[in-house]
Amino acid sequence: KAKTTTQLKSYFADAQVLNTKMKIRTAQTESGVKDTFQEHFLGKLFGSYAKTKGKEKKQEMLDSAIQHLPS
């Protein structure tokens, strides 16, 4: 259980950096650890900047999405 929790926390930490969707998906596949509830929120983070151009603007959109997640 502790290992799974640590893995899920690492996915969330990685998602707070731009363009890490494939890295997280690969880690999920390799470890076999996925959480449907967390997937919803990871999708919100990845989608927050999907249609935005420019690295700085994308980071702003991602930061805004992070601020609006439930704590």
The pLDDT score that the predictor gives to residue 14 is 96
* CA distances for 7 relative to 17, 18, 24, 29, 62, angstroms: 16, 19, 10, 12, 21
The pLDDT score that the predictor gives to residue 61 is 97
The pLDDT score that the predictor gives to residue 54 is 96
Domain ranges of the chain: 2-67
Instruction: Check pLDDT > 90 for residue 71.
Output: no
- C-alpha 46/C-alpha 58 separation (Å) is 10
Span 2-13, mean pLDDT?
95
Q: Tell me the per-residue pLDDT of 9-68, one tens digit each, with 9 for 90 and over.
A: 999 999 999 999 999 999 999 999 999 999 999 999 999 999 999 999 999 999 999 999
